[in-house]
Structure 1
Amino acid sequence: MSTNNYLVVREDWLALHEEQILEPSLRIVDAHHHFYDRPGWIYLDHEYLADARSGHNVVASVYMQAQTRYRPDGPRALQPVGETEYVAAVAQKHASGIPEAAKGIVGHVDLRLGAEVREVLEAHIQVGQGRFKGVRHLTTWDPDSSLVNPLSATPRGLLLDKAYGQGVAQLSELQLSYDAWLFFHQLPELFELARSVPHTPVVINHCGGILRIAAYEALRAQVFDTWLHSMRQLAKLPNVYVKLGGLGMRINGFDFEKRERPPSSDQLAQTWKPWMEPCIEAFGADRCMFESNFPVDKGSYSYTACWNAFKRLTSGASAEERQALFEGTATRVYRLAQS
């Protein structure tokens, strides 16, 4: 475990399993990855591109806020704009390459600013060079603080906070989306928020925040039932989407990192199937998108195995459904064609 609450990436362990790329021509938009520049946790553009160019046909990606390269001074509310500025410059450097990394950027804004968030949003848009597409302000909360990254701890009930809701309501006027990272037991709160902003695309991260460790380890069947009911409720709202991925984190309790060898794509697909297939059934392929969540999930499996697993999971889907899952939904929701 790293000091940042993430699983340690062990390149020597990942190298113990290799497999051929399945369907190497299938076009992919990686809907969610990060760059990190923190003490003991470095993963920048050249490292991501090495993973993304490992054999799959990744044509573009969406960068997700990671508290990296904030402005060191100036108004506190505007400091996260430094991350968008940095990532946009990196993206411009690679704009003519494949993949077009960070073709879309989702940045952090303190949505508790309410109506005053407009100034910060416009600052992100200004430095984003046409790539700034949305906002994520983490809302993960649990009575067990060990389940929450201390760098992103939030108060209970933030999704229902009036000012926070007012902040989210500002997004639609600027054609921006809202990414939601929360835990499964907070999904009913997200339902209320998403229902209040029908014109804003709301994107559930990481299959809805599955917890299967600590106190939840003994309640796994109950967790699944609660999660599934909440996801089906959210699927009734046409403005809600879901990212399929992010199941390589320690909180998911699948323990891939504890194995002698890293998991194969077949093992990953079988493990993920009970969680991802219900999402596709409830939301439809046109409201689901695949994500790598690298480098966070790299502590559990390789980029090659990750995308091979997604391909195995969808082997029975139609060509239209697969195009949506691997490329189309992310392109539409994050307006990548307009970048």
Structure 2
Amino acid sequence: MSSETFLKHDITDIVDAHHHFYSPDNDFNILQRQFGLAAYLPEQYASEAVGLPIFRTVHVEAAPAPGSGAAEAAWVESLTASGRGQVAAIVGSCNLADKDADAQLDALAAAAAGRLRGIRWLLDWDGPREGDGDNATHPAVALRQNCDYLRDPEPAAAFEKGYALLAQRNLSFDLQCAPAQLPAAAALCAQYPTVKVVINHIGKPRHLMTKDAAYDAAELARWRMGMAAMAALSHVYVKLSMLGYAVPNWHKDKAKEELLKTLVLEMIALFGANRCMFATNWHTNAAVSDGDGVTTDGLDIPALYTRFAEWTAKFSPKERQRLFSGTAAEFYRL
């Protein structure tokens, strides 16, 4: 879709609050090599977002090899410093449960050259991945820690020790976890109100309208309970992104799109526009960016932002400004 359709909605500034760059040539991009992914670089992103008013972006770590968060941040910073891309903030990778997390954070700050704003370490755990891995455990979590940093007592204690370091450094935390983990995440976040948190990917309700009504009801109930607990904390925000993971193939089916739109608007009502931000999660291709590989295709970036604009057409100009740029700019101190 052309960006001209989006521009008719009179939205003049977008901050893409979540995207990734990587290259199999980087020693630290082990996961991407394992999946056989080609490089995804600023020039590709720019060509796919051409015509949209995206002037600032947030680069979020792409699960580099453990202990190599500083190397990834230095690489992203080098791209930006050479005029490639519009990265205004970096969310770095650090296993906060590591004994040397403090030193890793020092190295990250130095490598990012003033752009480091937060940390992400993937936490999605729903039990061991078996067979085709049909549960909410993220492949990177299974490979790296293979446990629950939010609910398993010993690992959770180690993770919390590192999490506490973020407050001392004015760093935020990008929270990516399974819906069943959200109550435990809320308990952790409540203890550290000065550490701003943004929930990734609308809290990751999983594969709705792909099984049966009983599954959907249970999944939505679990997700809603967890998101309500998180929304009660004023320092917690949410990214409206990777929506095809929640409702696969929503872009091809009116009923699925209506469900997804309802869930997005529900989260905006729950958190308020001041704590919600749209993002693309862009990398690789549309199917992976929007659906985490659950689908074979997806909307391109202009079409995705056009849907966001259509869904929020009745919102005030101030609310839309927050959703498309203002909330992200405030959260990441752009």
The two structures share one fold, judged by TM-score above 0.5: yes
Work out the CA distance in 2 between the residues paired with 1:211 and 1:151: 17
In 2, Cα distance between equivalents of 1:216 and 1:131: 45
The TM-score normalised by the length of structure 1 is: 0.81
2:307 to 306, 309, 313: 309
Paired letter, 2:181: Q
Correspondent of 2:273 among 256, 277, 285: 285
Residues in 2 aligned to 1:102 and 1:240: alpha-carbon distance in whole angstroms: 23
Q: What is the distance in 1 between the residues matched to 2:241 and 2:109?
A: 27
The one of 52, 57, 67 equivalent to 1:56 is 52
Distance across 2 between alignment mates of 1:201 and 1:328:
16
The aligned amino acid for 1:300 is: G
Q: Return the letter of the residue paired with 2:230.
A: L
| In structure 2, distance between residues paired with 1:91 and 1:238 | 32
1:332 to partner: Cα distance: 1.0
Residue ranges of structure 2 left out of the alignment (5+ in a row): 24-31, 291-296
Q: Secondary structure at the match of 1:103?
A: strand
Contact 2:96 2:121 in 1 (8 A): yes
Identity %: 31
After the TM superposition, which residues 271-282 of structure 1 pair with which residues of structure 2 at under 5 Å, given as runs? 271-282=259-270
Which residue of the partner structure matches residue 240 of structure 2? 244
Aligned to 1:4: none
**Runs of at least 4 residues of structure 1 off by over 4 A?**
213-218, 266-269
Residues 141-160 of structure 1: pairs in structure 2 closer than 5 A: 141-143=125-127, 145=129, 146=133, 147=135, 148-153=137-142, 154-160=145-151
Partners of 2:94 and 2:105 within 8 A in 1: yes
The Cα of 1:110 is off from its aligned counterpart by 0.9
Task: Tell me the amino acid that sits aligned with residue 191 of structure 2.
Answer: S
Task: State how far apart, in whole Å, the 2-side matches of 1:63 and 1:165 are.
Answer: 24
Instruction: Measure the CA separation in 2 of the matches of 1:81 and 1:216.
Output: 44
AA in 2 matched with 1:41 = L
Structure 2 residue 181 is matched with structure 1 residue 186: yes
Per-residue deviation at 1:270?
2.9
Contact 2:249 2:256 in 1 (8 A): no
Residue number among 14, 21, 28 corresponding to 1:28 in the alignment: 14
1:228 to 224, 229, 238: 224
Deviations 1:53-108 (A, max 9, x none): 2x22111110111035x6xxxxx63x22110000011112227xxxx522111011
Match of 1:332 in 2: 330
Q: CA deviation at 1:113?
A: 2.2
Kept in 2, the 8 Å contact 1:285–1:324? The answer is yes
2: CA distance, partners of 1:109 / 1:279: 28
Q: Which residue of 1 aligns with 2:98?
A: 113
Shift of 1:150: 2.4
Letter in 2 for 1:275: L
- Matches of 2:256 and 2:21, distance apart in 1: 24
Change (3 A) 1:129 1:24: farther
CA distance in 1: counterparts of 2:215 and 2:232, whole angstroms: 26
Q: 1:158 to 1:226 in 2, by over 3 A?
A: same
- Is the 1:286–1:324 contact (alpha carbons within 8 Å) kept by the matching residues of 2? yes
**Structure 1 gap ranges (5+):** 1-14, 71-75, 257-261
Q: For residue 177 of structure 1, what is the amino acid of its counterpart? A: S
Structural RMSD (CA): 2.5
Which sits farther off after the overlay, 162-171 or 297-306?
297-306
| Residue 254 (structure 1) aligns with | 248
2:125–2:141 CA contact under 8 A, matched in 1? no
| Alpha-carbon distance in 2 for matches of 1:271, 1:26 | 28
Distance 1:25 1:247, change over 3 A: closer
The answer (yes or no) to whether the contact 2:141–2:147 under 8 Å persists in 1 is no
TM-score, scaled to structure 2: 0.82
8 A contact 1:25–1:56 mirrored in 2: no
Partner of 1:241, secondary structure, is: strand
* Alignment partners' CA distance in 1, 2:268 and 2:14: 17
- Aligned positions, number: 300
Residue matched to 2:107: 123
Task: Pick the aligned partner of 2:172 from 173, 177, 189.
Answer: 177
Query: How far off its partner does 1:268 sit?
Result: 7.8
CA deviation string 1:236-287 (max 9, x = no partner): 10111100111123xx34235xxxxx649x8886342121111111111111
- Equivalent of residue 74 in structure 2, options 85, 102, 107: 85
How far apart, CA to CA, are the structure 2 residues paired with 1:190 and 1:180?
A: 8
Change in 2 beyond 3 A, CA 1:216/1:287: farther
Kept after mapping to 2: 8 A contact 1:245/1:291: yes
